[in-house]
Amino acid sequence: MDEFWTYVGNKKNKVWLIYAYDRHTGEIVAYVWGRRNLATAKQLRSKLMSLGISFNKIACDDWDSFLVAFKHSIKQVGKRFTVGIEGNNTRLRTFARRAFRKTCCFSKNLTNHLKAFDLVFHYINHGWV
């Protein structure tokens, strides 16, 4: 699990992506958009539960919200456990910037910005159809 921020228009308009990533398959399992707080981490936990995904053991950084929201899970905390997801963050940024560049001003609207990320997630999980 990790958090990732992006912005719409300018850096004052930060939006946080909190997501779960399966390091064996490379798939983005679940994600939520919001502020970087406990409520958003709990939304991710709820989404994972509603999808029937077990999370008995998770790897995360030392962010308090992850530690509290997933308090009954075994946690592997530290950079050595989150190397895969940090690489995925780079991949997300690369794909998203490429999509935004090709569509000119597409990312200045928050709804369009989030839909572009939906397309990137679909590409990462399923490839081009």
pLDDT at 102 over 60: no
Name which of 39, 41, 35, 37 is nearest 19 in CA terms.
41
pLDDT in tens, 46-70: 998 898 887 777 777 777 788 788 8
Indicate whether 2 pLDDT > 70: yes
What pTM, to 2 d.p., does this model score?
0.75
Domains and CATH numbers, the chain: 2-126 (3.30.420.10)
